[in-house]
Homo-oligomer: A and B are copies of this chain.
Amino acid sequence: MTTSYKRLDKDNAAVLLVDHQTGLLSLVRDIDPDRFKNNVLALADLATYFKLPTILTTSFETGPNGPLVPELKAQFPDAPYIARPGQINAWDNEDFVKAIKATGKKQLIIAGVVTEVCVAFPALSALAEGFDVFVVTDASGTFNELTRESAWNRMSSAGAQLMTWFGLACELHRDWRNDVEGLGTLFSNHIPDYRNLMTSYSTLTNSK
Protein backbone atom coordinates (compact mmCIF):
# COMPACT_ATOMS: atom_id res chain seq x y z
CA MET A 1 0.00 0.00 0.00
CA THR A 2 1.46 3.33 -0.99
CA THR A 3 0.66 6.89 -0.16
CA SER A 4 -0.19 9.18 -3.01
CA TYR A 5 1.95 12.23 -3.56
CA LYS A 6 -0.14 15.42 -3.51
CA ARG A 7 1.94 17.31 -5.99
CA LEU A 8 1.37 20.89 -6.91
CA ASP A 9 0.07 21.42 -10.40
CA LYS A 10 0.21 24.93 -11.79
CA ASP A 11 -2.99 24.32 -13.69
CA ASN A 12 -4.85 23.36 -10.56
CA ALA A 13 -3.57 25.80 -7.96
CA ALA A 14 -4.72 29.13 -6.58
CA VAL A 15 -3.05 31.49 -4.12
CA LEU A 16 -4.78 33.03 -1.12
CA LEU A 17 -3.10 36.01 0.53
CA VAL A 18 -4.78 36.68 3.83
CA ASP A 19 -4.41 39.84 5.87
CA HIS A 20 -0.89 41.02 5.01
CA GLN A 21 -1.81 44.42 6.43
CA THR A 22 0.56 47.13 7.60
CA GLY A 23 -0.72 47.13 11.17
CA LEU A 24 -0.93 43.40 11.62
CA LEU A 25 2.61 43.04 10.32
CA SER A 26 3.89 44.69 13.48
CA LEU A 27 2.65 41.60 15.34
CA VAL A 28 4.93 39.27 13.37
CA ARG A 29 7.95 38.38 15.45
CA ASP A 30 8.78 34.80 14.50
CA ILE A 31 10.60 35.85 11.32
CA ASP A 32 12.90 38.83 10.81
CA PRO A 33 11.19 41.71 9.00
CA ASP A 34 13.71 41.82 6.14
CA ARG A 35 13.33 38.14 5.47
CA PHE A 36 9.58 38.13 5.90
CA LYS A 37 9.06 41.01 3.50
CA ASN A 38 11.21 39.25 0.96
CA ASN A 39 9.31 35.98 1.36
CA VAL A 40 5.92 37.61 0.89
CA LEU A 41 7.06 39.47 -2.20
CA ALA A 42 8.67 36.31 -3.55
CA LEU A 43 5.37 34.49 -3.15
CA ALA A 44 3.61 37.31 -4.97
CA ASP A 45 6.14 37.19 -7.79
CA LEU A 46 5.74 33.43 -7.94
CA ALA A 47 1.97 33.74 -8.24
CA THR A 48 2.39 36.24 -11.02
CA TYR A 49 5.04 34.21 -12.78
CA PHE A 50 2.99 31.02 -12.82
CA LYS A 51 -0.18 32.97 -13.58
CA LEU A 52 -1.90 31.41 -10.61
CA PRO A 53 -5.30 32.86 -9.77
CA THR A 54 -4.70 34.93 -6.66
CA ILE A 55 -7.20 36.17 -4.13
CA LEU A 56 -6.58 38.98 -1.69
CA THR A 57 -8.47 39.51 1.50
CA THR A 58 -8.18 41.83 4.47
CA SER A 59 -9.68 42.22 7.88
CA PHE A 60 -10.90 45.62 9.04
CA GLU A 61 -8.47 47.54 6.95
CA THR A 62 -9.85 50.91 7.93
CA GLY A 63 -9.01 50.28 11.58
CA PRO A 64 -5.78 49.65 13.48
CA ASN A 65 -5.02 46.56 11.38
CA GLY A 66 -4.09 48.96 8.59
CA PRO A 67 -4.33 48.69 4.82
CA LEU A 68 -3.07 45.84 2.71
CA VAL A 69 0.63 46.19 1.95
CA PRO A 70 0.64 48.46 -1.13
CA GLU A 71 3.03 46.24 -3.08
CA LEU A 72 0.51 43.40 -3.05
CA LYS A 73 -2.35 45.62 -4.09
CA ALA A 74 -0.26 46.98 -6.95
CA GLN A 75 0.87 43.58 -8.11
CA PHE A 76 -2.61 42.08 -8.37
CA PRO A 77 -4.78 44.93 -9.60
CA ASP A 78 -7.38 42.60 -11.10
CA ALA A 79 -7.46 39.98 -8.40
CA PRO A 80 -10.60 39.42 -6.35
CA TYR A 81 -10.16 41.62 -3.32
CA ILE A 82 -12.38 40.83 -0.37
CA ALA A 83 -12.27 43.36 2.42
CA ARG A 84 -14.06 41.31 5.02
CA PRO A 85 -16.55 43.23 7.10
CA GLY A 86 -15.85 41.21 10.22
CA GLN A 87 -15.36 37.51 9.65
CA ILE A 88 -12.12 36.40 11.24
CA ASN A 89 -11.96 33.12 9.35
CA ALA A 90 -11.93 34.26 5.73
CA TRP A 91 -13.74 31.06 4.81
CA ASP A 92 -16.77 32.38 6.68
CA ASN A 93 -17.00 35.11 4.08
CA GLU A 94 -19.14 33.95 1.18
CA ASP A 95 -17.47 36.18 -1.36
CA PHE A 96 -14.10 34.77 -0.48
CA VAL A 97 -15.23 31.17 -0.90
CA LYS A 98 -17.08 32.03 -4.08
CA ALA A 99 -13.98 33.63 -5.51
CA ILE A 100 -12.01 30.51 -4.71
CA LYS A 101 -14.56 28.18 -6.20
CA ALA A 102 -14.77 30.38 -9.27
CA THR A 103 -11.16 29.58 -10.03
CA GLY A 104 -12.05 25.91 -10.32
CA LYS A 105 -8.77 24.99 -8.63
CA LYS A 106 -8.50 22.27 -6.03
CA GLN A 107 -5.05 23.08 -4.67
CA LEU A 108 -4.97 26.08 -2.39
CA ILE A 109 -1.73 27.83 -1.53
CA ILE A 110 -2.30 29.91 1.60
CA ALA A 111 -0.18 32.53 3.35
CA GLY A 112 -1.13 35.22 5.81
CA VAL A 113 -0.78 37.07 9.06
CA VAL A 114 -1.13 35.78 11.74
CA THR A 115 -0.44 32.12 11.11
CA GLU A 116 -2.63 30.49 13.75
CA VAL A 117 -5.69 32.54 12.77
CA CYS A 118 -5.66 34.07 9.32
CA VAL A 119 -3.89 31.07 7.80
CA ALA A 120 -4.99 28.19 10.00
CA PHE A 121 -8.71 28.91 10.08
CA PRO A 122 -9.30 29.00 6.29
CA ALA A 123 -6.79 26.17 5.86
CA LEU A 124 -8.79 23.94 8.20
CA SER A 125 -12.05 24.96 6.59
CA ALA A 126 -10.70 24.25 3.12
CA LEU A 127 -9.38 20.86 4.15
CA ALA A 128 -12.78 20.03 5.62
CA GLU A 129 -14.32 20.77 2.24
CA GLY A 130 -11.91 18.53 0.41
CA PHE A 131 -9.38 20.95 -0.95
CA ASP A 132 -5.68 20.21 -0.89
CA VAL A 133 -3.99 22.85 1.23
CA PHE A 134 -0.40 24.01 0.95
CA VAL A 135 0.62 26.43 3.68
CA VAL A 136 3.44 28.80 2.77
CA THR A 137 5.15 28.76 6.11
CA ASP A 138 7.77 31.38 5.37
CA ALA A 139 5.27 33.92 4.01
CA SER A 140 3.07 33.52 7.08
CA GLY A 141 4.03 35.13 10.36
CA THR A 142 2.93 35.29 13.95
CA PHE A 143 3.81 36.38 17.48
CA ASN A 144 6.58 33.95 18.32
CA GLU A 145 7.93 30.48 17.67
CA LEU A 146 5.78 28.77 20.30
CA THR A 147 2.67 30.03 18.58
CA ARG A 148 3.97 29.07 15.16
CA GLU A 149 4.75 25.53 16.23
CA SER A 150 1.30 25.12 17.71
CA ALA A 151 -0.31 26.38 14.54
CA TRP A 152 1.80 24.17 12.29
CA ASN A 153 0.95 21.18 14.43
CA ARG A 154 -2.78 21.84 14.20
CA MET A 155 -2.74 22.36 10.45
CA SER A 156 -0.44 19.46 9.72
CA SER A 157 -2.52 17.11 11.86
CA ALA A 158 -5.53 18.05 9.76
CA GLY A 159 -3.73 17.23 6.51
CA ALA A 160 -2.21 20.54 5.39
CA GLN A 161 1.17 20.36 3.74
CA LEU A 162 3.84 22.76 4.99
CA MET A 163 5.95 24.31 2.28
CA THR A 164 8.07 27.38 1.66
CA TRP A 165 7.96 29.66 -1.36
CA PHE A 166 11.09 28.22 -2.93
CA GLY A 167 9.76 24.67 -2.77
CA LEU A 168 6.44 25.84 -4.22
CA ALA A 169 8.20 27.48 -7.14
CA CYS A 170 10.25 24.39 -7.85
CA GLU A 171 7.29 22.00 -7.62
CA LEU A 172 5.17 24.22 -9.85
CA HIS A 173 7.90 24.67 -12.44
CA ARG A 174 8.84 21.01 -12.68
CA ASP A 175 11.54 21.44 -15.29
CA TRP A 176 14.06 24.24 -15.79
CA ARG A 177 13.70 23.81 -19.53
CA ASN A 178 10.20 25.24 -19.33
CA ASP A 179 11.83 28.63 -18.84
CA VAL A 180 15.31 28.99 -17.48
CA GLU A 181 15.41 32.73 -17.49
CA GLY A 182 12.05 33.28 -15.84
CA LEU A 183 12.71 31.01 -12.90
CA GLY A 184 16.28 32.25 -12.63
CA THR A 185 15.08 35.82 -12.42
CA LEU A 186 12.63 34.92 -9.69
CA PHE A 187 15.39 33.30 -7.69
CA SER A 188 17.88 36.08 -8.37
CA ASN A 189 15.44 38.69 -7.15
CA HIS A 190 14.67 36.94 -3.87
CA ILE A 191 17.66 34.80 -2.91
CA PRO A 192 20.81 36.90 -2.42
CA ASP A 193 23.03 33.83 -2.39
CA TYR A 194 21.60 32.66 -5.67
CA ARG A 195 21.99 36.11 -7.17
CA ASN A 196 25.64 36.04 -6.19
CA LEU A 197 26.11 32.65 -7.81
CA MET A 198 24.57 33.97 -11.00
CA THR A 199 26.69 37.11 -10.97
CA SER A 200 29.90 35.17 -10.42
CA TYR A 201 28.93 32.76 -13.16
CA SER A 202 27.93 35.32 -15.75
CA THR A 203 30.96 37.48 -15.02
CA LEU A 204 33.27 34.55 -15.58
CA THR A 205 31.56 33.26 -18.69
CA ASN A 206 31.27 36.73 -20.16
CA SER A 207 34.96 37.29 -19.60
CA LYS A 208 35.83 34.33 -21.76
- Is A167 an interface position by the 8 A CB rule? yes
User: Per-residue CB proximity of A60-79 to B under 8 Å, as 1/0?
Assistant: 10111111011000000000
Q: Which residues of B contact A89 (CB under 8 A)?
A: 170-171, 174
Give the total of A residues in contact with B, Cβ under 8 Å.
93
Q: Pick from B117, B147, B177, B201: contact of A204, CB below 8 A.
A: B201
**Chain A: interface secondary structure?**
helix
Say whether A60 contacts B197, CB under 8 Å: no
Say whether B66 contacts A166, CB under 8 Å: no
Q: Contacts A31-B146, A59-B176, A193-B33 hold; do A120 and B22 have CB atoms under 8 A apart?
A: no
Say whether B34 contacts A196, CB under 8 Å: no
Closest to A153 in B: B162
Q: Which residues of B contact A151 (CB under 8 A)?
A: 164, 167
Say whether A88 contacts B175, CB under 8 Å: yes
